[in-house]
């Protein structure tokens, strides 16, 4: 461990906990593509630290707000926020143990309980981020309109402005977006984690699901379920338990690719043109 790193870590602990703690050792953690993460070990316990000097000034604060909003529902476990700075977020370290036998089914029921939390409008009372990209949460009465205007079109414009996609694809996407009000079900706003893929799913010392790295808003719950299929589906018992607890409208499986245009466009904007082909496949399927 470098002395410079240790000094920074101890400064974070002092600022967050209002007392001096010596870092005995730390472990660099993998999994994130935006920030650096370490587990800090001290005589008074261990902590999880996410840090990045290049992030937007309020990014970690927005993430902390999202974690606390989800925690207040008591529907699903999340790490406690211990400290926030412009360039860091300090959390309790999740002590992962063996998962309970029905982990995935329990997760499905817990997510359904989270989605039962609603609001008068779609969006949120503040904007936040998905990855390091701005995520506008303009309050909107119609959920499909919110999804089109503040998720799909916002990412499409960013991809066009940065020359990741061309005008021809933008025009095709516009035609697809015009069709969505008849293709997607209109449901009440549901509180969403917002970035629910396997990399953000852990289990705690009790063996139950614990979620990290949210991009919270009130949205269409099918969009959340679709996101879980983005990089390979979760265990089938997760979907069965969710559907038994909070049934989806018929035809959900035919809509998955439409919802996943959002995270796919996010990946275009974060990681480049390697994801444009996936966007074109959806356009060809629904527009021709």
Known catalytic membership, residue 257: no
**How far is Cα 52 from Cα 5, in angstroms, rounded to an integer?**
13
CB 66 within 8 A of CB 41: no
**How far is Cα 35 from Cα 87, in angstroms, rounded to an integer?**
10
From the list 106, 161, 195, 235, the catalytic residue is 195
Report in angstroms the alpha-carbon separations of 145 from 8, 130, 139, 140, 173: 45, 19, 11, 8, 15
4-5-7-13 Cα dihedral, nearest 10 degrees = 170
Beta bridge partners of 234: none
**How far is Cα 85 from Cα 91, in angstroms, rounded to an integer?**
12
CB 132 within 8 A of CB 270: yes
Residues annotated as catalytic (active site), given as ranges = 195
């Amino acid at each position: 461990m470098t002395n410079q790193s240790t000094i920074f870590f101890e400064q974070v602990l002092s600022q967050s906990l209002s007392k001096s703690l010596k870092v005995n050792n730390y472990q660099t953690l993998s999994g994130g593509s935006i920030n650096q993460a370490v587990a800090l070990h001290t005589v008074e316990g261990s902590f999880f630290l996410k840090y990045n000097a290049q992030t937007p000034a309020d990014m970690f604060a927005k993430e902390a707000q999202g974690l606390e909003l989800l925690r207040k529902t008591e529907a699903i476990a999340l790490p406690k926020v211990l400290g926030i700075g412009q360039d860091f977020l300090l959390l309790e370290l999740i002590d992962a143990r063996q998962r309970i036998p029905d982990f995935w089914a329990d997760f499905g029921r817990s997510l359904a309980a989270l989605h039962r939390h609603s609001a008068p409008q779609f969006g949120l009372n503040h904007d936040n981020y998905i990855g390091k990209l701005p995520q506008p949460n303009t309050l909107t009465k119609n959920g499909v309109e919110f999804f089109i205007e503040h998720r799909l079109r916002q990412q499409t414009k960013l991809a066009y402005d940065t020359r990741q996609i061309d005008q021809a694809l933008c025009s095709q996407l516009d035609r697809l977006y015009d069709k969505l009000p008849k293709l997607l079900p209109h449901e009440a706003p549901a509180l969403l984690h917002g970035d629910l893929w396997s990399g953000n799913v852990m289990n705690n010392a009790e063996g139950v699901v614990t979620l990290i790295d949210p991009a919270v808003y009130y949205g269409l719950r099918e969009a959340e379920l679709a996101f879980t299929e983005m990089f390979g589906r979760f265990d089938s018992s997760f979907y069965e338990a969710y559907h038994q607890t909070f049934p989806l409208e018929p035809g959900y499986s035919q809509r998955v690719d439409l919802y996943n245009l959002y995270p796919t466009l996010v990946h275009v904007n974060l990681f480049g043109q390697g994801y444009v082909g996936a966007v074109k496949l959806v356009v060809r399927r629904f527009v021709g």
